[in-house]
Amino acid sequence: MRLAVLASGSGTLLDAMATGGLPIALVMVDRHCAVEDVAAGHGIPCVVVERTDFGDSFDRDAFTARVVEQLGEQRIDLVAMAGWGTILGPAAFAALPGRIINTHPALLPAFPGWHAVRDALAYGVKVTGCTVHVATETVDDGPILAQEAVPVLPGDDESTLHERIKAVERRLYTDTIRSILEHGVEQFDRTVSSASTSS
C-alpha cells in the first residue's frame, strides 16, 4: 500500500511517523509551511496543492479535485491526515473509501471539533485522550480504529494537556498506520464495513 501524509503545520507528527519507519510515499501540504522542510529532511517527496482562498467563496469541490488528482497520479492507497488544515469535499472519500484516516486530541465521540482540548478542560473531565479514526465527510465522526486515555492533571492548561496528548498521538497514530500496512487492507475494510452496517 502506498501511503500519503496530508499535513499543514509544524510537521512534528510527520516527523514521528517518518522516524518510526513508516514507508511514506508522498507528503502533501495545502500551504507553504514547516512540513515541507520535515519532508525534505526525511527524503520524502512533497507536493503543494495550495489553498489561496480562505473566504466564503472558497470552492471546496474544486480544491478537493486537485488533491484527488495528485493522489491518483501517485497511486496512493492510504491517506493519513496529520494536521491537514482544509476539510475535503465528498470526492476525496469517494475516491478512497475507508482509506483516509485522521487523529483527534480527545476520546471521540466526546469533544469533536477544532477545540477539543479546550472543551475537555472547560467541561471538567478527569480523563481525555487521543483517537485514531477513519475520516468521513462528517468531521470527527468516522469509525474508531484506536484510542488511548490521557489523564487531566491538577493545574493543567490547554497547552500542557495538549502536549501530553500529542506525545501519545505520535506513537498511537504511527502504530495504527503500521498495523494497517502490515496486516493489509482487509482488516481495515472490515472495521469500516462493520461500523457502516451498525449505523
Query: DSSP for 124-152?
Result: T-SEEEEEEEE--SSTT-SPEEEEEEEEP
Q: Which amino acid is at 125?
A: V
Residue in the block written with cell 522542510: 37
Other C-beta atoms within 10 Å of 11: how many?
Answer: 25
Say yes or no: 63 and 128 in one domain.
no
Of 41, 70, 96, the position where a domain reaches its end is 96
Q: Are 72 and 47 in contact (CB under 8 A)?
A: no
Question: How much is the average pLDDT of 115-135?
Answer: 96
Structure-block grid coordinates of residue 184: 493489509
Poorest-confidence range of 5-9, 146-150, 179-183? 179-183
Question: How much is the average pLDDT of 132-159?
Answer: 93
Domain that holds residue 110: 102-199
Say yes or no: 110 and 76 in one domain.
no
Say yes or no: 113 and 87 in one domain.
no
Q: How far apart, in whole angstroms, are the C-alpha atoms of residue 132 and residue 146?
A: 5
Say yes or no: 64 and 117 in one domain.
no
Question: How much is the average pLDDT of 128-146?
Answer: 92
pLDDT of residue 198: 31
Structure-block grid coordinates of residue 64: 478537493
Query: Which residues, 6+ apart, have CB-to-CB distance to 175 below 8 Å?
Result: 20, 146
Say yes or no: 92 and 112 in one domain.
no
Percent of the chain with pLDDT over 70: 92
Using N-to-C axis directions, what is the helix angle for 12-19 and 158-183, rounded to 10°?
Answer: 40
Closest CA to 15 of 33, 47, 40: 40
Q: Residue 184 — pLDDT band, cuts 50, 70, 90?
A: low
Residue 33 main-chain phi, psi, to 5 deg: -160, 180
Q: Residue 188 — pLDDT band, cuts 50, 70, 90?
A: very low
- Residues annotated as catalytic are 104
Give me the number of domains the chain comprises: 2
pLDDT digits (tens, 9 = 90+) for 51-84: 988 889 999 999 999 999 999 999 999 999 999 9
Of 47, 62, 96, the position where a domain reaches its end is 96
pLDDT digits (tens, 9 = 90+) for 80-109: 999 998 999 999 999 999 899 999 999 999
Say yes or no: 66 and 134 in one domain.
no
pLDDT at 117 over 70: yes
With H, G, I as helix, E, B as strand and everything else as coil, classify residue 47.
Answer: strand
pLDDT of residue 187: 56
Say yes or no: 144 and 89 in one domain.
no
Q: How far apart, in whole angstroms, are the C-alpha atoms of residue 5 and residue 81?
A: 6
Of 75, 96, 117, the position where a domain reaches its end is 96
Q: How far apart, in whole angstroms, are the C-alpha atoms of residue 135 and residue 184?
A: 18
Say yes or no: 57 and 111 in one domain.
no
Say yes or no: 145 and 108 in one domain.
yes
Say yes or no: 18 and 36 in one domain.
yes
Say yes or no: 81 and 112 in one domain.
no
pLDDT at 159 over 80: yes
pLDDT at 194 over 60: no
Mean confidence (pLDDT) of the chain: 91
Say yes or no: 48 and 115 in one domain.
no
Closest CA to 49 of 25, 65, 37, 72: 65
Domain containing 60 — which CATH number?
A: 3.40.50.170
